[in-house]
A and B are shown apart, each in its own frame.
Chain A
Amino acid sequence: MAGHLNHVVIGASAAGLSAACAILKTTPRARVRVVSEEKDAPYFRPMIPFIISGKKGSSDVKMVGQGPYVQEGFELFTNTRVTRVDAGQKRVITDSGQIVSYDRLLIASGGKPYLPPEIEGVDVEGVYALRTLSQARAAAKRSSNVTHAVMLGGGLLNLKAAFSLLEKGLEVTLVVYSPEILSQLMEPEDAVMIRNALEQAGLKIMTGCSARKIVDGSKGVCSVVLDDNREIACEMVFIGKGVRPCVDFLGDSGIEIDSGVVVDRYTKSSMNDIFAAGDVAVTFDPITGERIVTGLWTNAAEMGTCAGKNMAGCPTAYSGTFGVMNATQVAGLPFVSMGVVHPGNNEHEIHKNISDTSYRKLVFSKDGNYLLGLVMIGDIKNAGLYRFIMREQRNIRFLKEKIIGQSLTSADVMYG
């Protein structure tokens, strides 16, 4: 009978659509309704910086029919916000008062940008906390008529946005509270090479300071005031201070929340027939076992697929993810950062390889037998191989020389 189950999915992004595709692949005759608060049809969220730079248009980044999102047969309701989940009656209520019943529900509502309450003026025109395609379009429009943008926060999202603005010819200043950029993804000394490349590419970086106030002029933002009272004139501000799970509509649902929706190894929440995946879910790190909330497309897609299979009656354990697992290229430098990247003083064995064009930090367990994390900059060859042995928690005693000497290949891992 599972073939005819009635599935409802809240959120039409990486997790939601991966789940919808997995449900229909497993049980083609199931009913799957996907509800999205956004007006735009589903799109690849990480691509929105290209909307700002103008390199891509909205239709270039759409999801349905692209990549793995080719399964047909789900119903999509855009511009519809779920305001309440009634787990007792197994139904959700939308902002237009519509009542939608479900046999199985997936919460894939993702994350919302965090706006630090200590910054005054976050609602001034020209201030963006970049998350949606419609915001990106608005930012693209404004960026065509201005000269200077200030980015608050030194994470990857802000760096990507910064580059899209640099490409358009704006002057861009990055204001970072931490002693160094990318502090979530690496230690200060790991970031030097990237910082140099960013500065060479024209980005102004100010570390160790934060914004206190965003000042409203006659045409929106006119400046940012720092905590030491320095004032930077600008017409756009981007706030990149992390994301928080979108759980505001779950208040009276009875679902266990610990910052995000808590799920078991089978992606099920504390309530029967309700599952969660992606940025909204609390998952775990396969190495430390710690509860984590991630902000990763890769994780959302994988976990969503897993949740979809579970909902369709095909029990599939989710193997967790590293809280840090990023790959990208900024200022011409490819880099990968994953697993334990902030090792403790005497708790880990650390190896570094540094050349003019590349930087590599490997973090092993204290006994040296397990690879726990790495940062690779410049040369990211075989990064996936390392991820594999980290995730499998392979004892690498016999491979260690090759790992440190950068000569490990998949032949060693698969056939060695």
Chain B
Amino acid sequence: MDQVKEIFLRKNRCMGCHSCELACAVAHSASKNMYEAMGEVPLPKNRVYVEAVSENLPIPVLCRHCEDAPCMHACIAGAIRRMEDHSLFTDADKCIGCWTCVMVCPYGVIGRHLDAQKAYRCDRCPDLEEPACVSACPTKALVYQSVTTFSKDKRRHAAEELSRGEGK
């Protein structure tokens, strides 16, 4: 089976530099260029958000493209659908801006274009080799991998930590 890639977070690597947010906004601008993007109306919006649990624990959050996605089932307009690569897609033409998806998303990662009255979210940058946030992350806190690769890496990492006596 073709391995679908997802964006994963390696929690303790994020330094809170917000590079992912900037890269995301630029990737979703009309010009795709940072300097021009800053002058665009409406201002391009990022879909990844670096939130802070505390000052020294920044965490980037973004759409998980959930398996049993509450937003997709809740949408009263049929505007949210699952794409072939398993990502969720909000169809701006169908979206009526009722914000039902915002109300049911437990991660708070669905954005709102207030003027256009349209919801938006991470689309994993379908036109890029790798999502812009991942490419921009200097510490590789965000990685773009298949579930199996990611969990293999994670297990290997845990094993290494254990053998070094660093495991919890």
Inter-chain contact A325/B103, CB cutoff 8 Å: yes
Interface range on chain B: under 10, 10 to 19, 20 to 34, or 35 or more? 35 or more
Q: How many residues of A contact B (CB 8 A)?
A: 42
Known A67-B81, A409-B61, A415-B57; judge A380-B103 contact (CB<8 A). Answer: yes
Inter-chain contact B73/A383, CB cutoff 8 Å: no
Inter-chain contact A384/B78, CB cutoff 8 Å: no
Give Cα A297 to B53, complex, Å: 34
Please tell me if A74 contacts chain B, counting CB pairs below 8 Å: no
Please tell me if A47 contacts chain B, counting CB pairs below 8 Å: yes
Known A18-B73, A297-B74; judge A411-B106 contact (CB<8 A). Answer: no
Inter-chain contact B51/A411, CB cutoff 8 Å: yes
Please tell me if A63 contacts chain B, counting CB pairs below 8 Å: yes
Residue numbers in B under 8 Å from A387 (CB-CB): 103-104, 106
Measured CB to CB, the closest approach of chain A to B71, in angstroms, equals 8
Inter-chain contact B80/A67, CB cutoff 8 Å: yes
Interface positions of A from 321 to 354, Cβ below 8 Å from B: 325-329, 334, 336, 338
Please tell me if B150 contacts chain A, counting CB pairs below 8 Å: no
Q: Mark A402-416, 1 if CB is under 8 A from B, else 0.
A: 000000011111111
Partner of A414, one of B73, B97, B99, B107: B107
Q: Mark A43-66, 1 if CB is under 8 A from B, else 0.
A: 010110010000000001101001
Please tell me if B26 contacts chain A, counting CB pairs below 8 Å: no
Closest to A389 in B: B106
Please tell me if B139 contacts chain A, counting CB pairs below 8 Å: no
Please tell me if A298 contacts chain B, counting CB pairs below 8 Å: yes
Please tell me if A381 contacts chain B, counting CB pairs below 8 Å: yes
Please tell me if B100 contacts chain A, counting CB pairs below 8 Å: yes
Measured CB to CB, the closest approach of chain A to B54, in angstroms, equals 8
Please tell me if A305 contacts chain B, counting CB pairs below 8 Å: yes
Inter-chain contact A384/B104, CB cutoff 8 Å: yes
Inter-chain contact A69/B78, CB cutoff 8 Å: yes
Measured CB to CB, the closest approach of chain A to B20, in angstroms, equals 14
Residue numbers in B under 8 Å from A46 (CB-CB): 76-77, 98
Inter-chain contact A328/B99, CB cutoff 8 Å: yes
Inter-chain contact A44/B77, CB cutoff 8 Å: yes
Q: Which of B75, B103, B114 has the most CB of A within 10 A?
A: B103
Interface, chain A (partner B; CB < 8 A): 18, 44, 46-47, 50, 60-61, 63, 66-70, 297-298, 301-302, 305, 325-329, 334, 336, 338, 380-385, 387-388, 409-416
**Interchain Cβ contacts under 8 Å between A and B, 27 examples:** A67-B79, A68-B72, A70-B81, A297-B74, A297-B76, A297-B100, A302-B73, A305-B73, A325-B103, A327-B99, A327-B103, A328-B99, A329-B98, A329-B99, A334-B114, A380-B102, A381-B102, A383-B102, A384-B105, A384-B106, A384-B110, A385-B107, A387-B103, A409-B61, A410-B109, A414-B107, A415-B57
